[in-house]
């Protein structure tokens, strides 16, 4: 069985400071992992994805995430937060075959303070 845990429901950072959104997963085999961002009343936008290639994944808007198998983690980071980063972030795990269903984390709301 697969599952994903986002360790923080809310994160607040000041503009210009680093962002860390934590995600741990459980999977019986090598999964695909994704981070999505959702702005209010909008659909989901893909930030980055891990699909068994390089463990350090770079995404859009300066975000990156590192796949750490030993820690079963896929934390999302950004060196310097911007006001426009304020949104809901979802970590997702998906099997590499079969139904390809997404297992969503509960989400982390990022607040960026001026």
Q: Which residues bind other proteins (CB under 8 A)?
A: 32, 34, 36, 41-46, 49, 51, 90, 94-96, 99-102, 104-107, 109
SS3 for the chain is CCEEEECCCEEEEECCCCEEECEEEECCCCCEEEEEEECCCCCEEEEEEECCCCCEEECHHHCEEEEECCCCEEEEEECCCCHHHCEEEEEEEECCCCCCCCEECCCEEEEEEC
Kindly state the smallest distance separating residue 101's Cβ from other proteins, in Å: 6
Kindly state the smallest distance separating residue 29's Cβ from other proteins, in Å: 12
Nearer of residues 30 and 61 to other proteins, judged by Cβ? 30
């Amino acid at each position: 069985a697969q599952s994903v845990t986002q360790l923080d429901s809310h994160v607040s950072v000041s503009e210009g400071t680093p962002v860390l959104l934590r995600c741990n997963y459980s999977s019986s085999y090598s999964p695909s992992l994704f981070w999505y961002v959702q702005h209010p009343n909008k659909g989901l936008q893909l930030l980055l994805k891990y699909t068994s290639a390089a463990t350090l994944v770079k995404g859009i808007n300066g975000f990156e995430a590192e796949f750490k198998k030993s820690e079963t983690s896929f934390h999302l980071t950004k060196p310097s937060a911007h006001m426009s980063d304020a949104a809901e972030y979802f970590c997702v795990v998906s099997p590499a075959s079969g139904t390809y269903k997404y297992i969503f984390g509960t989400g982390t709301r990022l607040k960026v303070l001026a």
